[in-house]
Structure 1
């Protein structure tokens, strides 16, 4: 009989995974870049689930949809249905912007999930709805949403500025009455319309008012840019102020800090510089608003043309 005591090995029971986890991911398109982002989201959140012994990954919900309010998010809806059916305890998602398309939608969804005692963890922001006060959560989400909107706006403005500075903006060759685009997209003169533009400038310098010009165009049966019998006052005013008719395009005049990008000789001119400036001076003379010490004020009498009734 052996004198050595017996050693009994007690195998540790695997820890029971008690919390059922769902992963939600969303991208805005099926482009290669967005699909790579989707793969990364799923991979990161799956590894995150595996690091917590009590978590059990039960489903992954994936939407490929735009940020527009009307776009479909079938997987998001399926996830909410599973939450209502008590099939999930935790939702992992990359960020607030991926979870919802706007602040209202995010807050509404979180409110529904809170009613079912389901917590949402935002990996990028490091937020856990179970550990965050409701009012604070709302404040955080609204702040992040505002920051993202400002960032998106800044990116758009930066892109426009870059294209304008490099003369690659499509706005340089956006056609207006009197022009058309050639096969390369550059502006060329539309001879028939250009004659009407010249007529409008000449009539104004002859003393015709905007109303008088409208009457003359209708008398000559010249159709408007939208092919209507009658022209609008606004159309005539825009034509008389459009620097494109002297070959100049001015972009980004939208605030004190915005740069002005001016492209001279951008396109062939329909009106000479001298005639265009003469019209601007005449418009100033006819204006019913004058500048004074106390700001702008209206003249007591409007300009009237004696030639109108002749």
Structure 2
């Protein structure tokens, strides 16, 4: 008596996790086991299809798998009546997803058979066994997930980098799981942070970065392809500006831990950027409109707790009363800071008078000039350090390109190194043309003396913009009742390479 042939599809899957999947679960071993089982069922008419349904490096937590999708199409066309798997967790690790698959198989009259677990969904006992086994499989998956989370948390507490995409300023060491500073990119990171503080706007900074041709990090993936290197988006720039990695920390959810890697930025500078981000509108990337023409908005700082003063107002009897209040005190309560709210009109008048008085007080002029000289010297020292690091990195890239060509390295790697070389040359050129020089004292004095004449002619909005150009910040000391002005060097002289407007 001739037996009708029953088409059998063999499905295999190997997980993406090399620690979970050992050689015993390789695709070839699974298929060999399944073929032997199908051969033992020849008396029932089973015939294995020649087509392979193998999902390599695909997680069992999802049903979106190329080979599984092809298998479903064969089932819909009626070309498969039995699906053989080596173990139940090869087709799914989730009970809910497995039940979804069995409903699909039942709807098309297809039986699912496991080689090592001795069951067949074609009968009621097999379905019961399947659900029991899958319950344990899902429980095991939950345990694995919990263990992975615990390991990640423990690694973060120790300050270790636990993987992911490399970020601008750092490379992942060849042995993996450790970060090392990329000297050339570290220079670029500092410049981006400084640029944001100068422009005080996410959108404006993104626009300027694109204008300069500055892009995000590029790296060579495991498959040899060059990845990344796109222009910054507003969200991407905000993520960079708030990344704790740059001050030597690592994070897990909302927790911050001290990292094992070296910091690129100092904490004080990083915190200054964070405060500026809070002051500005995060949604549109631009500074909130200064509709009340608050002269000291974004400039006034509390010396007691180092927090910025926030401009606000209250309305009484249809009249608005403007004032500045310490952000720390507003957010954390009166006990957190001793600085009282400051009437906006009084503190703005006091600062305006101090600005104007500088032009006619030789002692104050000397203090302002000494402050500017100190700022310039600090910036020039930092520039020279960056220039040295950029030259060393350029020499290193030159050597890597030469070695890669001698060893016939993949073309993608050589092109990646060439892009790094071009980037290094651009940075060196930019650093060479931005040398800081100490301004002539007579020019500073002349600018200060002209303030009293110009100030009355300014509109309220123009005074605000002028104050931001002239001042870096204004410190208020509640204990001593003192107001200290810190002048910005950009208000008195240009960076080398720029022309002074006549």
In the alignment, structure 1 residue 196 sits paired with structure 2 residue 181: no
Which whole-Å CA distance do the structure 1 matches of 2:242 and 2:234 have between them? Answer: 13
Partner residue of 1:175 out of 149, 166, 178: 166
User: Are residues 1:110 and 2:106 paired?
Assistant: yes
1:265 aligns with 259
**Structure 1 residue 42 displacement after superposition:** 7.9
Give yes or no for contact 1:120–1:129 (8 Å, CA) kept in 2: yes
Q: Post-superposition shift, 1:106?
A: 3.2
Contact kept, 8 Å, 1:91 with 1:121, in 2: the verdict is yes
- Displacement after TM superposition at 1:198 (Å): 1.6
Kept in 2: contact 1:178–1:193 (CA 8 A): yes
**In the alignment, what sits opposite 1:234?**
235
Selected match of 1:159 from 126, 148, 154: 148
CA distance, structure 1, for counterparts of residue 210 and residue 86 of structure 2:
62
CA distance in 2, matches of 1:307, 1:125: 79
In 2, Cα distance between equivalents of 1:223 and 1:38: 50
Cα distance in 1, alignment partners of residues 80 and 237 from structure 2: 61
1:242 Cα offset (Å): 0.4
Give the Cα–Cα distance (whole angstroms) in 1 for the partners of residues 161 and 118 of structure 2. Answer: 38
Distance in 1, matches of 2:210 and 2:36, equals 68
Q: Gaps spanning 5+ residues in structure 2: where?
A: 15-20, 59-63, 217-227, 299-463, 470-502
Structure 2: distance between partners of 1:91 and 1:27: 10
Which is helix-richer, 1 or 2? 2
**How many residues in Structure 1 have an aligned counterpart in Structure 2?**
256
Task: From the superposition, tell whether residues 213 and 248 of structure 1 become closer, same or farther in structure 2 (CA, over 3 Å).
Answer: same
- 1:248 aligned residue: 249
1:272: Cα distance to partner? 0.4
Shift of 1:276: 1.4
Runs of 5+ unmatched residues, structure 1: 1-17, 50-54, 84-89, 255-259, 290-297
Asked if structure 2 preserves the Cα contact closer than 8 Å seen for 1:95 and 1:125, the reply is no
Cα pair 2:105 2:112 within 8 Å, conserved: no
CA distance in 2, matches of 1:239, 1:125: 54
Equivalences for residues 54-133 of structure 1 within 5 A: 56-59=43-46, 61=48, 65-66=54-55, 69-71=65-67, 81=79, 83=81, 103=98, 104-113=100-109, 124=117, 129-131=122-124
Cα contact 1:25–1:61 (8 A) shared by 2: yes
Are 1:21 and 1:91, in contact at CA under 8 Å, matched by a contact in 2? Answer: no
CA distance in 2, matches of 1:248, 1:178: 14
Shift of 1:283: 2.5
Q: CA deviation at 1:206?
A: 4.6
CA distance in 1, matches of 2:53, 2:205: 54
Of 197, 208, 221, 2:200 maps to 208
TM-score normalised by the chain length of structure 2: 0.38
Equivalent position to 1:280, from 262, 274, 278: 274
Seen in structure 2, the aligned counterparts of structure 1 residues 271 and 82 have a Cα distance that, compared at 3 Å, is: closer
RMSD over aligned Cα, in angstroms? 5.4
CA pair 98-77 structure 1, distance change in 2 beyond 3 A? farther
CA contact (8 A) 1:178 1:197 kept: yes
Q: What are the within-5 Å matches in structure 2 for residues 10-29 of structure 1?
A: 26-29=11-14
SS at match of 2:261: coil
Q: What is the CA-CA distance between 1:33 and the residue it aligns to? A: 0.7
Instruction: Tell me how far apart the structure 2 counterparts of residues 36 and 218 of structure 1 sit (CA, whole Å).
Output: 52
Instruction: Measure, in 2, the Cα distance between the counterparts of 1:92 and 1:194.
Output: 54
Q: Deviations over 1:206-244 (max 9, x none)?
A: 56222343354456x25121556x643223211210001
Tell me how far apart the structure 1 counterparts of residues 7 and 203 of structure 2 sit (CA, whole Å). 68
Residue 270 (structure 1) shift: 1.1
